[in-house]
Amino acid sequence: IMLDREHLGILDVSTRRNAFGRQLQSFEVDLAADAQAPDVPEADGPVRAVFIRAPWVEEPGDDVEVLAEVDGHPVAVREGDVLAVAFHPEITGERRFHRWLLERIAERRASKEGTR
């Protein structure tokens, strides 16, 4: 949520806090990532996602890619090199989103070193 327009302004999205309910409404679900978006970590099948007091994206900006949804609500988005998820991949041992972030860091580091 803190990355949205209202707070840090890093992502061009508006969000709804606790959109799926409070702690008692926490749930797990398998998400299918959008195979149309390049570099989406979907190659190994669905993503097991745990939602705890989770937000959803109310309004993604024009340059924001929606990577996954629950009941029509975006829960994973990307704008450029910024990735945001509304769930806790670390709880299920899901590593694809973390791996994606680490790969972007390595690419940037290699790019910077190549320009020296």
pTM: 0.82
CATH code linked to domain 13-114: 3.40.50.880
pLDDT, tens only, 14-70: 999 999 998 889 999 998 865 444 455 555 678 889 999 999 999 999 999 998 999
Where do the structural domains in the chain lie, given as residue ranges?
A: 13-114
Residues 6+ apart with CB under 8 A from 110: none
- How much is the pLDDT for 42? 53
CA distance 57 to 15: 4
Residue whose tokens read 């099948």: 45
Q: Where are the alpha helices (DSSP H) in 3-88?
A: none
pLDDT class of 1 with cuts at 50, 70, 90: low
